[in-house]
Structure 1
Amino acid sequence: MLLGEVYFWTDTVKDWNQVFSSEKYKQIIIKTLEELVKRKKIEVYAFVIMPNHLHIVWRMIEVNGKEMPHASFNKFTSHQIFQDIKLQHPEKLSDFKVTDTERNFRLWQRDPLAILMDTQNKLEQKIDYIHVNPLQERWQLCEKPEDYDWSSARFYETGTDNFGFLTDYRNLL
C-alpha cells in the first residue's frame, strides 16, 4: 500500500473465527480507527465489521512511527483482543496458535486484500459492497444496510456519523 492512495481493504480473522460476534471486540476496531484518524495517520471513507472479517475503504496519510498505519492497526487490534481472550476466554487462545518465528498467536490472516481505488466507479462499487455485506444470505445481520450498527452505511444514508471519524468519499471527487 502506498501513502496518499485510497484502498479497499479486507482483513480476515485467522481460520475465519467469528471473533467479531463480540461487541467489545468490534469496539476495539472502532476505537483503533478513531485513534488513527485523530492522529492524522488515516482517513476512513467506509467500513463494515463482519463476524469474521472487516472491509475498510481508507487512505494511509502518513507512517505511524516506522510502520504503515495498516500495520499499526493490525498490531494494536490483535494485542487488545488477545489481552482480553487471555483473561476472559483462555480456552479460545488455541484457535489462534501459530508456529511463526515472530509470534505465538495470530488474529489476522496473513496478506490482507488491498485493492487500489483508482476510479470513481470502482470506489462506489466497493462502498456499496461493504454496505450490503451484512444483508447477505449467509449473514442476515439486518434488513437494510443503515440498520447495521457496525458499518458506515447509516452515515451515507442519513449524514449522521455515529463514529466521529468518517470522511465522505464524495469529498475526494
Structure 2
Amino acid sequence: MRLRLSPGDASAIRSRIKIIPILQNLTGWCNLTCMAIHTAVHHSGIYFITFTCYRWLRLFEMANAYSEVYNFFGILNRQGHQVLGYVIMPNHVHMLLYFCTTGQPLNTVIGNGKRFIGYEIIRRLKAKGADAVLHLLKEGVSPVESKKGKLHQLWQDTFDVKVCRTEKFILQKLNYLHANPSRGRWKLCNEPYEYEHSSAAFYEIGKRDNIWLKDYRDFLALVQD
C-alpha cells in the first residue's frame, strides 16, 4: 500500500527517519546495502548519486544554474528514469534515482547530464564576465584532456554512486541529503523543507510542484527481494 503524508505534517517523515538505527557502521552491513560503483552500471535499481563541482567551487550559485539541473532531471524522466529525492547545493548535487535499464549504463547517463549542465554553466559565466573563474576552470584541464579539445574542468574527476537495497538505507540517504542545507557551514535554511532546491518539501509537507519527482515508496517493490 502506498503511504501518504498529510499536508502540513512536517515532522512525520523526519520522525520516522530518526528512529532508524545507525547500522552502516556494523561489520558487513554496508556490503549488504550499499556498494560504491567504479565500473559501468547497467542494472535497474535505486541509486544514491553525488557529483561535485571542480575544487568545490560554487558554480551552481555563481552561474545561477540550478535550473539546468532541473532540466537534467526532466531529461532523466523522459528517458524512463525517476528522480526520487535530491538536493542541489551551491557546489554539488545529491540525488536518489531509480535507474531503468535503457541501453546506456548509469555512468554514461550521468556523464551526459554533467556535460549538458556544464555547457550552460560556462555560457552563463561568460555572459557574466566571470573571467577569473573561467581562467581557474581552464587551468584545471589536464594536458591530456587539453589535447583532446577540452577547454574547462567543471567537475571533480569522479562521481559517487551507491546502490540502495533496503528502505532503511534509502531513508538514511534522504535524511542526509535533505539535512545538507541546514547543517554545518552552510546554514542555508532553518528547516530542510524551507530550502528551495530540495525534495524535502515534497516528503515533509506534501509539496507537489515537480512532475518528474516521484515517491521512493512507489519503487520499493522493484528493488527489494
**How many residue pairs end up in the alignment?**
171
| Higher mean displacement: 53-62 or 80-89 | 80-89
Work out whether 1:10 is the aligned partner of 2:57: no
C-alpha separation in 1, matches of 2:112 and 2:185: 31
1:22-101 to 2 correspondences below 5 Å: 22=62, 24-37=64-77, 39-61=78-100, 62-63=102-103, 68-91=108-131, 92-97=133-138, 98-99=141-142, 100=145, 101=147
**CA contact 1:78–1:107 (8 Å) conserved in 2:** yes
CA distance in 1, matches of 2:130, 2:60: 17
Runs of 4+ in 1 over 3 A off after TM superposition: none
Secondary structure of the structure 1 residue equivalent to 2:65: helix
The 1:141/1:172 distance shift into structure 2, 3 A limit, reads same
Distance of 1:30 and 1:115 partners within structure 2: 21
Cα distance per residue 1:4-32 (max 9 Å; x no partner):
12111110100000112247301111112
* Contact residue 63 and residue 125 of structure 2 kept, 8 A: no
Secondary structure at the aligned position of 1:96 is classed as helix
Bigger radius of gyration: 2
**Tell me, which stretches of 5 or more residues in structure 2 are unaligned?**
1-40, 221-225
Structure 1 stretch 25-34 or stretch 55-64: which is displaced more? 55-64
1:47 is displaced (CA, Å) by 0.3
Unaligned ranges ≥5, structure 1? none
Which amino acid letter does the alignment assign opposite residue 56 of structure 1?
M
Kept in 1: contact 2:62–2:125 (CA 8 A): no
Tell me which amino acid in the other structure corresponds to 2:89: M
Cα contact 1:41–1:69 (8 A) shared by 2:
no
One of 127, 131, 139 as aligned partner of 2:186: 139
State the distance in 1 between where 2:63 and 2:200 align.
18
**In the alignment, is the contact (CA less than 8 A) between 1:30 and 1:163 conserved in 2?**
no
Counterpart amino acid of residue 46 in structure 2: V
Q: Deviations over 1:39-73 (max 9, x none)?
A: 23421000001111110010222246xx8321221
Question: Mean Cα displacement is larger for which, 108-117 or 159-168?
Answer: 159-168
Aligned to 2:27: none
Alpha-carbon separation, structure 1, partners of 2:192 and 2:63:
18
* Aligned twin of 2:196: 149
CA shift at 1:145, angstroms?
A: 0.6
Larger displacement relative to structure 2 (20-29 or 91-100): 20-29
